[in-house]
Structure 1
Amino acid sequence: MKATAEKKPPRRTQEERSGAMRKRLLAATLESLAEDGYAGSTLSSIVRRAGVSRGAQVHHYPSKQALMLDASEDLLKRTYRRLGELLLSVSEEDNRLQALVDAVWEQMFATPLYRAYCELVAASQRDQELAKALSGMLQRVMALFEPAANYYFETSGTKLRPADLFLQLSCVLSGLGLQAPLLNQVVIRSQLDAWVKQTAPVLRARKGINRPPPRPAAWDRILDAKPPR
């Protein structure tokens, strides 16, 4: 009886190869931003980090600005998706608000990816196109996050919606994340706990929510839309 010949994996299409190449370049860009800063993230250093040819980089991203624009969108898409995962992951915690704040800080704001985001925000102050891209994508992510926050949480004794309170939290986390290298962990912990303590009386998790919120019909269109350039 002849041994069954091993099937060769199907060859990837040109579109799949291009997509994989872009992912490598974008991942290398975000790593470089976190480690070397915006100024230190040159095209040549990113190409080396990604392990691709200079020709491949030029084909997909002919300039540093084009690469940074795509990297900023990729970063914010990752952020939205990760936030959704965290919201769902704390659904069974006794204190879901505290658990969520801790998880968001540790897994999003106290990470190299947030350092990369800070570098992009700083660079956008001198780059109008980058500022437009970051602003447009951030607004689209917020438009998707607001109904998710209102789905998982509810308020009482206030006219504020859950999304309003979580926007305040994002500002607190952003400030702490930016200054984290200058602050000790005791200060950071005390600020996170203070926000939870002052917010808990009016914000609570909805009971029985253990599924993701209904996916908006325009989810792909909103998240993947590109701002006019």
Structure 2
Amino acid sequence: MNNTASLNDEPEATDGREVKGAMMRARLRAATEQLIAEVGVEAASAAAIALRCGVSRGAMLHHYPTRDALIVDTAAHFWQRARDIVAGLAEDVSHGRTDVATFVGRLYDEVFRANALVTMLDLMVSGRSETRIGEAVNRILTDLFASYEDLGIQAFQSSGLPPERIRVIITLIVSTLRGLRIQDNIKPDEARVRAVLASLADAVEVLLQKEARNPARRAAKKPPAKTRRSRKP
């Protein structure tokens, strides 16, 4: 799977110069995602990003005045792509078009395996949270994980669980996938990844079905029996 930014993730341009500019920015973001995922934030200098992209440093600075501006824009575009993916998954689950295992698997493969997510996590763990770029990335991640909760409620509302319980389940999913992505980045093992995803899907299924097996809740949902009126003598 190609986890780099798409060349078509910019708004439609209206003339040739805008088209070329949009394509160049997309290429620079893709190069940034790849390089930081491979060598980390500190080694991904502006010169290294330009070299990976196959352009001069001057050409890169024409579109992004600083490396930090490029990294923040890369993170922002990833946020939008990720949110669109999760929104589609949530809609499919809520309408019964996909199951929990598919939801968990695609969320990991299409969002958590993206190079841009590794970029943002690397920024967080490298001690840059107090810098301008760190603050921007933290805001983006905070918004992204909040959207996971909102979309998760939409996806699993048919389970009958209250929103606060669904948020707990979404936190379990997101936390597990985030940790799995970090672990797999350190020591890749595809068989282990698939085993963890299958176990996570099973656990989520159990949590969702537990509500339906709860007698107290079923009784609370059950409409009161109609009482038979006695006839007057």
2:26 matched residue in structure 1:
23
Q: CA RMSD in A?
A: 2.9
Matched, 1:166 2:173: no
1:182 matched residue in structure 2:
187
CA shift in 2, pair 1:156/1:195, >3 Å: farther
Deviates more, 1:50-59 or 1:164-173: 50-59
Could you tell me how far 1:170 is from its partner in structure 2? 0.4
Matched, 1:115 2:107: no
Which of the residues 73, 78, 84 maps onto 1:75?
A: 78
Could you tell me how far 1:169 is from its partner in structure 2? 0.8
Are the counterparts in 2 of residues 32 and 41 from structure 1 also a CA contact under 8 Å? yes
2:153 matched residue in structure 1:
150
Matched, 1:197 2:202: yes
Matched, 1:140 2:143: yes
Aligned length: 193
Could you tell me how far 1:101 is from its partner in structure 2? 0.9
2:224 matched residue in structure 1:
none
Pick 1 or 2: higher relative contact order, CA cutoff 8 A, min separation 6: 1
Structure possessing the higher radius of gyration over alpha carbons: 2
CA shift in 2, pair 1:159/1:136, >3 Å: closer
CA shift in 2, pair 1:153/1:198, >3 Å: same
Q: Which structure 1 segments of 5+ residues have no match? A: 1-9, 205-229
Corresponding residue SS for 1:39: coil
1:217 matched residue in structure 2:
none
CA shift in 2, pair 1:18/1:186, >3 Å: closer
Deviations 1:108-167 (CA, angstroms, capped at 9, x unpaired): 324444433332333353652122111211232344443322222124466734233112
Which of the residues 44, 58, 62 maps onto 1:41?
A: 44
Corresponding residue SS for 1:203: helix
Are the counterparts in 2 of residues 158 and 202 from structure 1 also a CA contact under 8 Å? no
1:223 matched residue in structure 2:
none
**CA distance in structure 1 between the aligned counterparts of 2:163 and 2:81, rounded to whole angstroms:** 31
Which of the residues 9, 12, 16 maps onto 2:15?
A: 12
Could you tell me how far 1:88 is from its partner in structure 2? 4.5
**CA distance in structure 2 between the aligned counterparts of 1:16 and 1:60, rounded to whole angstroms:** 13
AA paired with 1:203? L
CA shift in 2, pair 1:157/1:71, >3 Å: closer
Deviates more, 1:83-92 or 1:63-72: 83-92
Are the counterparts in 2 of residues 114 and 177 from structure 1 also a CA contact under 8 Å? no
Are the counterparts in 1 of residues 86 and 151 from structure 2 also a CA contact under 8 Å? no
Which of the residues 102, 107, 112 maps onto 1:104?
A: 107
Deviates more, 1:164-173 or 1:52-61: 52-61
Percent identity, aligned pairs only, is: 23
TM-score (norm 2): 0.68
Matched, 1:125 2:128: yes
CA shift in 2, pair 1:134/1:151, >3 Å: same
Deviations 1:80-127 (CA, angstroms, capped at 9, x unpaired): 22222334456423xx11111122223332444443333233335365
Q: Which structure 2 segments of 5+ residues have no match? A: 1-12, 210-233
1:51 matched residue in structure 2:
54
